[in-house]
A and B are shown apart, each in its own frame.
Chain A
Amino acid sequence: SAVISQKPSRDICQRGTSLTIQCQVDSQVTMMFWYRQQPGQSLTLIATANQGSEATYESGFVIDKFPISRPNLTFSTLTVSNMSPEDSSIYLCSVEDGQGARRQYFGPGTRLTVT
């Protein structure tokens, strides 16, 4: 399975600011995903990021709030913009294994606290 890293691992930010989270994969992957896990909750898909095209956002998530970049097949960023305390969550990136088996592997997550 792919090895996925995320930066930063955690951060504490002030409301109104923005944070960019990086996701790096050790192999080329077509499909990358960004999930949010609010405190004590399950995971919710924010968007799908494919290289060479705009990200596809799920209902309830918009590009102005969560802009995503996917410059190549091993890297993606998620920005959380104009943060409020409600954005305090763990943000996880994942990749699809590319073998048609529909397995997704996750990065270690970024724990964001907004004060």
Chain B
Amino acid sequence: DSGVTQTPKHLITATGQRVTLRCSPRSGDLSVYWYQQSLDQGLQFLIQYYNGEERAKGNILERFSAQQFPDLHSELNLSSLELGDSALYFCASSRNRREGNYGYTFGSGTRLTVV
């Protein structure tokens, strides 16, 4: 157990729907990162939050949004889902921005299947 908890582990939904993926960072970690892993795109950085504030944005679609709450858990919202959004979505955390330079801890991921 890495200490980063992601729920649900699996999600199957239809095109056009909206889903919310949840991440609880490791205890004491302030930074949360979201990544998408797909066969054709590999691991793509989506977004980073630090202590509730957005810090960096990657290749995140406008249909996707995220936030980090006061208790530091984070949610990734995916809307108007398309078949191509099917992927593994990983959350990771680090103690602070500087510690991110030393690598961060990943959760086990949420596998999203859009049918």
Partners in one complex: no
Binding site for B on A (CB under 8 A): none
